[in-house]
Amino acid sequence: MKPGEKEKIAIIEEIKCPKCGTLIKNIKNKKAAKGRILKKVLAIGSAGGIGAWIGSSAGIAMFGSAISGTFPFALVAAGVMALATSKSSSTIKCPKCGTKLKFK
Ligand SMILES: [Zn+2]
């Protein structure tokens, strides 16, 4: 690692508001990003748990076996939750007009 590389702790993205033209800086701190990933993992984990719970009760009702229903439901719930969390993390509001802007 070269000297001075430690300073690069933030990833800065710039986006121009299509409504009012304000340049908005989105500073992504690496620590914050790590926290978001952890939150996402927790969300996916809990969604998987809920899916497994629904799946197991559905499995009992439909097939008489909890295992047959557990896995597909858990996977679907985790997938939906992953999509929802990734969408919310890339959206920012314009401080001037309140327009929702999407970051890549
Ligand atoms: Zn704006």
The domain limits of the chain are 11-102
- 27 Cα–ligand 1 center, Å: 18
How far away, in angstroms, is 16 Cα from ligand 1 center? 8
Q: Which residue has the higher pLDDT, 73 or 65?
A: 73
Between CA 17 and CA 26, with CA 22 as vertex, the angle to 5 degrees is: 75
Residue 60 has pLDDT above 60, yes or no: no
Rounded average pLDDT over 66-80? 67
Mean pLDDT of the chain: 70
- 102, containing H or E segment: strand 100-102
Phi, psi of 15, deg, nearest 5 = -140, 140
The CA distance from 38 to 29, in Å, is 14
pLDDT at 76: 77
Q: What is the pLDDT of residues 8-32, one digit of tens each?
A: 566 677 888 999 999 888 777 666 6
Nearest to 73 by CA among 53, 88, 89, 93: 53
